[in-house]
Amino acid sequence: MEALRIVEDEVRGALRRGAGTGTPVADLVRAAVVDYDVRSLDGSLPRLDDPDAAVRALVGSLSGWGPLQQYFDDPLVEEIWINEPGKVFVARGGVAELTTTILRSEQVCDLVERMLAASGRRVDVSSPFVDAALPDGSRLHVAIPDITRAHWAVNIRRFVARARRLDDLVALGSLTAPVARFLEAAVAAGLNILVSGGTQAGKTTLLNCLAAAIPAQQRVITCEEVFELQVPLRDVVGLQCRQANLEGAGEVPLRRLVKEALRMRPDRLLVGEVRQAESLDLLIALNSGLPGMCTVHANGAREAVTKMCTLPLLAGENVSSRFVVPTVAASIDLVVHAELDRDGRRRVREVLAVTGRVEGDVVETGEVFGTDPHPWSGGLVRGTGWPPHADRFARAGFDLRALLGDGGPRR
């Protein structure tokens, strides 16, 4: 370890002096390791046990993400998090594991600073939390003391999804083919869709796959806290939030993005996730005839509808449930709920229709597709509900009865 630090310091010093300008970092590292290995033969310097491993570690430290680079290079790693320098965890296939990687406190700080450099965001005593996107699209979240007990808490959520379209989810076993065909038609017909689920349930991936079914000629505006959505269309504008500067000014919240997006001639509006008062602005936009989709944290599809009836109340005392509840019923058409199973597999568990009717303060819903009651199946079967706006399906060229099988419930 000591030998590795000496070589790293030598290479960093050479880079600061401008030595080897234009030479790839990997070549500089290899030359430095060979030179050090020769100089250590007389016993004046600690030996490098494995020069090849040293080259890999130094290249990762100097041009990648240091000791974490091996996890960025692993296509199975979905998330990396650091609770303290000696506890680095990763998640593979939805399952968490403690790694053998041991860091120093200064290494953690240095990694975070390098990761934030390209984003223009910061983390310090006045702003102890930060959300940022890394160059590869991964999402970084950091919390520092005294918000945390003693160490920097770092989470890196990687976008390693193998699914780009609904057919990919079918191939992965997350969705059945009939449900995929129905959802594709619903998106093409312009229905407003809410994607719900818990943390790591695959909501963003599912939203991306739904967005791939948007007609190619339409213009899409996305609003997110940090860029994560990857809409495979040609006319797409992405907007992300901005934190306040050192003087406390310049913050751009998600509510502002939703409002500004309406001035950008969207055919579709996608909101990465609604958590607070921005849900009111989204509902107003959807209720004005603009098709859209978003995600929300919820334990189930019906709970997601209930949450959408309460979140807008955070917008102010002048917003009442008498306005919000019927607006939700009129604005949201479908809820697609996803879950992360114990075995790490992500599945769509329910497709719920919002009928547009309200009984008392309760939004009426119907299950279009639900989980097969047979525990060994894990698939989706036709429920008793019908989606709203059959006329929109017809105008888009879809036979709703054919999409739903025989046109009636099977449960």
What confidence tens digit (pLDDT) does each residue in 304-342 have?
999 999 999 999 989 999 999 999 999 999 999 999 888
pLDDT at 385: 93
Q: What is the DSSP letter of 48?
A: P
* The total number of residues written for the chain in this structure: 411
Give me the sheet containing 380-382, strands edge to edge. Answer: 236-240, 220-224, 268-271, 292-297, 193-197, 334-340, 346-359, 362-371, 380-382
For the residues 143-172, what does the mean pLDDT come to? 91
- Residue 146 CB coordination number (10 Å): 8
Q: How confident is the model at residue 59 (pLDDT cuts 50, 70, 90)?
A: confident
Q: Is the pTM of this model over 0.85?
A: no
What is the Cα–Cα distance from 125 to 365, expressed in whole angstroms? 47
For the residues 274-296, what does the mean pLDDT come to? 95
Phi and psi, residue 199, nearest 5°: -65, 135
Closest CA to 157 of 102, 223, 89, 108: 89
pLDDT at 29: 84
What is the Cα–Cα distance from 366 to 404, expressed in whole angstroms? 14
> Hey, is 335 helix, strand or coil?
strand
Please say if the pLDDT value at position 408 is more than 50: no
The first and second tokens of residue 300, run together, are 């189930």
For the residues 110-119, what does the mean pLDDT come to? 87
Answer yes or no: are the C-beta atoms of 286 and 192 closer than 8 Å: yes
| pLDDT averaged over every residue in the chain | 89
Mode of pairing for the β-strands spanning 236-240 and 362-371: unpaired
Q: How confident is the model at residue 365 (pLDDT cuts 50, 70, 90)?
A: very high
pLDDT at 337: 97
pLDDT at 9: 80
Q: How confident is the model at residue 411 (pLDDT cuts 50, 70, 90)?
A: very low
List, for residues 290-304, the tens digit of each pLDDT value.
Answer: 999 999 999 999 999
Q: Which residue has the higher pLDDT, 374 or 253?
A: 253
